[in-house]
Amino acid sequence: MLDQVKDFLYFIRVERGYSGNTASAYEHDLLQFFQYAKKKNETVDRQLVKNYLEHLYDHGFSVSSAERKLACLKSFFHYLIREGRINDDPTSDIKLPKKAKRLPKALSISETIKLISSPREKGFMAIRNIALMELLYASGMRASEVVSLNINDINFSVAFVKCVGKGSKERIVPLNQIALKAIKEYLEQGHHKFPQHDKEALFLDKNGQRLSRQGLWLVLKKYVKISGVKEKTSPHTLRHSFATHLLEKGADLRSVQEMLGHADIATTQIYTSVSRERLKRMYKKAHPRA
Question: Of the listed 69, 210, 245, 262, which one is catalytic?
Answer: 262
Under 8 Å between Cβ of 240 and 104? yes
Q: Is 236 a catalytic residue?
A: yes
| DSSP at 168 | G
Residue 6 is inside which H or E element, if any? helix 2-10
| DSSP at 278 | H
Under 8 Å between Cβ of 42 and 48? yes
Question: Of the listed 55, 78, 236, 278, which one is catalytic?
Answer: 236
Euclidean distance between CA atoms 246 and 239, whole angstroms? 11
Q: Cα dihedral sign for 247, 253, 258, 262?
A: positive
Cross-strand partners of 160: 155, 174
Please name which of 149, 193, 189 lies closest in space to residue 172, comparing C-alpha atoms.
149
Q: Is 239 a catalytic residue?
A: yes
Question: Of the listed 142, 191, 210, 240, which one is catalytic?
Answer: 142
Q: Which 3 state secondary structure label does DSSP give 93?
A: coil
Q: How many CB atoms lie within 10 A of CB 73?
A: 22
Q: Is 262 a catalytic residue?
A: yes
| DSSP at 113 | H
Please name which of 232, 212, 230, 226 lies closest in space to residue 121, comparing C-alpha atoms.
226
Q: Is 289 a catalytic residue?
A: no
Under 8 Å between Cβ of 132 and 216? yes
Question: Of the listed 69, 128, 210, 239, which one is catalytic?
Answer: 239
Q: Cα dihedral sign for 186, 139, 246, 280?
A: negative
Under 8 Å between Cβ of 209 and 197? yes
Q: Is 232 a catalytic residue?
A: no
Cα of first residue to Cα of last residue in the chain, in angstroms, is 61
Catalytic (active-site) positions: 142, 166, 236, 239, 262, 271
